[in-house]
Chain A
Amino acid sequence: SAVISQKPSRDICQRGTSLTIQCQVDSQVTMMFWYRQQPGQSLTLIATANQGSEATYESGFVIDKFPISRPNLTFSTLTVSNMSPEDSSIYLCSVAQVGAGGEAFFGQGTRLTVV
């Protein structure tokens, strides 16, 4: 299994500002994902981070609001832009290895509070 380090673990931000969350994996992985978990809710996929190209966004999520980078096979960032209180959530990075059984592993999450 991969060891995933996510930073920051939590933050309190002012509305209208942006926050960039980092996800570092200890080994090269094929697939990287970003999920959002709103308070008391389940996980919803924001996008698949593609190495060297634009991320693939799920319905309801757009690049202007959630720009994602993935410069290599071990690192990705998610930015939450122009934040509002509705963006207060836990954001989780997840990785999976193609052909290795399909399990996804998760970082410890970033708890974001927007005030």
Chain B
Amino acid sequence: AQTVTQSQPEMSVQEAETVTLSCTYDTSESDYYLFWYKQPPSRQMILVIRQEAYKQQNATENRFSVNFQKAAKSFSLKISDSQLGDAAMYFCAYRSAMDSSYKLIFGSGTRLLVRP
């Protein structure tokens, strides 16, 4: 069974600085998707970025980028120029591309605090 691990329960960053959130996963599959979701206090889960395992190029969305290391099964999220609105819980998630379930497996989450 696949698992997703986020080893940082909480991280803190100064506004305008850069922070990296870690995520590792375990799978025997070769084709899958990885996601980072943001959950602010409003509870709404917001998709931040996605990565397809067969693509070597790291995904980027504005200030958000990932470092995808397939061999190491690592998928970290880098937030540049941090803003107060980035404060939230961040969840790493895995989805198999080899079955039709479309189920997501989530990590335990990292709470990001942004200091003004």
Contacts and interface: CB of A to CB of B under 8 A. Distances in A.
Contact of B47 (A41, A105, A109, A111): A105
A43 B102 contact: no
A43 B43 contact: no
Nearest to A110: B43
A35 to B, nearest CB: 8
Contact of A33 (B100, B103, B107): B103
Contacts, number: 56
Binding site of A, secondary structure by majority: helix, strand, loop or mixed? strand
Binding site of B, secondary structure by majority: helix, strand, loop or mixed? loop
A103 B35 contact: yes
Given A41-B108, A42-B106, A42-B109, A101 B50 contact: yes
A52 interface: no
A108 B50 CA distance: 20
B34 to A, nearest CB: 10
A90 B102 contact: no
A43 B44 contact: no
B101 A48 contact: yes
B3 to A, nearest CB: 12
A102 B50 contact: yes
Interface string A32-76: 010000000111110010000000000000000000000000000
